[in-house]
Structures are given as structure tokens and as C-alpha cells.
Amino acid sequence: MNSAVIVFPGSNCDRDMAIGLNEVTGRAPAMVWHRQSELPENLDLIAVPGGFSYGDYLRAGAMAARSPVMKAVVEAASRGVTVLGVCNGFQVLAEAGLLPGALMRNAGISFVCRDVKLTVSNSQSAFSAHYDQDEEIVLPVAHHDGNYTADDETLERLEGEGRIVFRYAEPVNGSARDIAGIVNDAGNVLGMMPHPERMVEAAHGGLDGRRLFEGLLGG
């Protein structure tokens, strides 16, 4: 699998993501700087990592979503390339219009940094193939703006179309319908606030994140 990790000024989970991808796919991802307007050819997966791109200026993910590389990411997504946005990456994908809704300040105001229980709400997505339906898993979160918001019509559509892939199984940030991760209508773009790349080795305290990447690899 050929993968790439997008790097913005202020990204801070890009190397964690790269290590995770290297470990699971057996190949080092291309690291693509935000000013590049073209992506490497023949990519199977583009990862938009966590962090504080552009210092979260204006809104989390807002500036990054308008950077040159994101035009290429949007174009690749429209061709069906798999795109995974984690944490700030989810915020960037929502700001770029690849995913509906918005991520607002956590309902409790505080930055939340801990392991949380999640439920796999749809094990049929390309990203959740190695999980069981309704399985409870544990992944770390570390965010200030993870409170997913969308209008009722959008929420109903996400629910009805099975596009809510991960839900919080405990109170975390006030997210509508406990949404932790959603896919786009084509199913090739996932945004999630929890960090799968931080649960890929036994030393991380669990392997629940590794299974997301293994699922993408297929088999």
C-alpha cells in the first residue's frame, strides 16, 4: 500500500502516523508538505494527521483546508483515493468540505486528553472492516475542538446511511449523537477525533488502532 501523510505547519502527529503506517503497511509513507500542489502518483491512502495546523488560527483546520496541497487531496478523494483524517485532520476535512458538519469547542470547554471507549457503529466501512459491529474499542483522544455539530437533516442522513462509523461510548466532548468518526457519502473519506495511530503497538497499551489500518490493507 502506498500512503502519504500531509504535513502542515503545526502538525504534531504526522510522525506518529508515519510510524504507524510504516509498521502496518511495511512501507514508509511519503511526507507531503502543505505547499506542494501535487501528490505522489499511485497513492492508496492519504492521511491528514493531528496537531494544530496554522496554530488553529481563525478556526481549527480552517487555514489548512485552504492550503495548496488540500486541492490535490480533494481531487484525489473525488477519484476514490482513501483519505483518513485524524483529530485536526478531521477538522481539516470538514473545513475543506470533504465531510459534512463542523467540529466545535468541547462542550466542557476543557482540552480532553485520555483513552476513551468507542463503539463501532458500522463495521461495513472500508475503515472498520477489521472490527465487529457494535464492538467496544479503546482509543486515545487529545483535542479541544471535537464537538461534532451538523443540522438535523445532515445528522439524520449520516445516521440513515450508516455513515457514523465510530461513536463515543462515554461522555467526551458533547458531540451530536456521540459522533466520533464519520465517512463521506462515497465511503472513501473518514474523519475521526480519536487517534488510531496511537494504538498500533503493544507498548501503546492496546492494538485497537492497528486494526483500522489492517482493515484498509484488506485481507
Partner 1 sequence: MKARVLVTLKNGVLDPQGKAIHHALEGLGFAGINDVRAGKLIELDVDDGVDDASIEEMCRKLLANTVIENFRIERA
Residues with a catalytic annotation lie at 87, 195, 197
Per-residue 3-state assignment (H helix, E strand, C coil) for the chain: CCEEEEECCCECCHHHHHHHHHHHHCCCCEEEECCCCCCCCCCCEEEECCECHHHHCCCCCHHHHCCHHHHHHHHHHHCCCEEEEECHHHHHHHHCCCCCCEEECCCCCCCEEEEEEEEECCCCCCCCCCCCCCCEEEEEEEECCCEEECCHHHHHHHHHCCCEEEEECCCCCCCHHHEEEEECCCCCEEEECCCHHHCCCHHHCCCCCHHHHHHHHCC
Segment contacting partner 1 by CB under 8 A, of 98-106, 117-125, 188-196, 203-211: 98-106
- Give the nearest distance from C-beta 102 to partner 1 in angstroms: 4
- Give the nearest distance from C-beta 4 to partner 1 in angstroms: 25
Answer for which of 11, 119, 147, 188 binds partner 1 (CB under 8 A) is 147
Q: Which is nearer to partner 1, 95 or 197 (CB)?
A: 95
Q: Which is nearer to partner 1, 15 or 144 (CB)?
A: 144
Answer for which of 28, 107, 113, 207 binds partner 1 (CB under 8 A) is 107
Segment contacting partner 1 by CB under 8 A, of 82-90, 142-150, 160-168, 204-212: 142-150
- Give the nearest distance from C-beta 94 to partner 1 in angstroms: 8
Segment contacting partner 1 by CB under 8 A, of 31-39, 96-104, 182-190, 201-209: 96-104
Write out the residues near partner 1 by the rule CB under 8 A. 58-59, 62, 66, 94-95, 100-102, 104-109, 147, 149-151, 174
